[in-house]
Amino acid sequence: MLKAVIIEDEIKSLNNLKNQLAQHCPDVEILAEASNIEDGYEMISDLEEKPDLAFFDIDLPDGLIFTMLERLRPIDFEIIFVTGQSEHTLRACEFACIGYIMKPINPERLVDAVSRVRTNHPNRMDQRLEIFSNGLSNPNSFEKLSIAGVDGIYFVNLKDIIRFEAEDNYTHIYLQNGDRITASKTIKAYEDLLAPFNFYRVHKRHVINLNYMRKFVKGDGGYLIMDDNIKIEVSRRRRPAFMEQMKRLQEGL
């Protein structure tokens, strides 16, 4: 069983979440619930049994949930934000490897978010919240990525990532220092997340950091030579769009 707490000020949203959990995640036991920051802080502080998981609305009547989280540190439970917030908030969650569910709640998304909680121990939540908070306050400050690896959570500078390589539903992440991290997330998720940060998908199996390209070799489809001397195929289907991207880079656009 996963023991959980909820902080949500909207009664309709609270009841919907509890009903969805009962129906789709029967192994989640609700220990307690609150509707604002002060009551939530007292609730969590007074619990005799430590929660494994917390469902938090972000914007509450007496402020943002982060003020409570600062008071609770160190945080040793997983968090899933239940939010109607902006795309930027969701990107911050992805960068920090923190779960989120959009309102109204999608049952499949709820099940997926809860299942990911089981793979995130040790959770290193304080560091993940720092990445989230920095990204939320400054849209241009996404410099570090939290990666849920198969053996733990890693914190990696974007500038140190050379490329991503897909293998089934896992992704291998290759770093400048020669390390490789295997993540339990699809390459499509990384493609969508990192497209604004000079990462580009050149093949169904490969997303590259354009800063690490050394040479493009023309030919049947063509291939790239990266700074780590690895050859990366550029698929025929993606080649025209890739060449347009190269043109924009050359022109400084």
pLDDT digits (tens, 9 = 90+) for 175-205: 999 999 999 899 999 999 999 899 999 999 9
Domain boundary among 137, 169, 190: 137
> What total number of domains does the chain contain?
2
180 and 71 inside one domain: no
6 and 83 inside one domain: yes
The three-point CA angle 48-53-56 to 5° equals 105
What CATH number does the domain containing 239 carry? 2.40.50.1020
Q: In what order do the strands lie in the sheet with 28-34?
A: 28-34, 2-7, 53-56, 78-83, 99-102
52 and 159 inside one domain: no
Residue 140 CA, chain-centre distance (Å), reads 17
For residues 115 and 88, is the Cβ–Cβ distance under 8 A? no
Domain boundary among 89, 112, 137: 137
What CATH number does the domain containing 49 carry? 3.40.50.2300
Quickly state the pLDDT bin for 136 (edges 50, 70, 90): confident
Q: What is the C-alpha end-to-end distance of the chain, expressed in Å?
A: 52
Listed in sequence order, the DSSP H helices in the chain are 11-24, 37-46, 65-72, 87-96, 107-117, 125-137, 187-194, 239-251
172 and 194 inside one domain: yes
Tens digits of residue pLDDT in 114-127: 998 876 655 789 99
133 and 148 inside one domain: no
Between CA 133 and CA 69 the distance in angstroms is 11
Domain boundary among 137, 167, 184: 137
Domain that includes residue 121, residue range: 2-137
Whether the model pTM is above 0.85: no
18 and 58 inside one domain: yes
Tens digits of residue pLDDT in 40-71: 999 999 999 999 999 999 999 999 999 999 99
98 and 150 inside one domain: no
Q: At residue 185, what is the residue type?
A: K
Choose among 25, 29, 18: nearest CA to 82.
18
Residue 86 pLDDT = 74
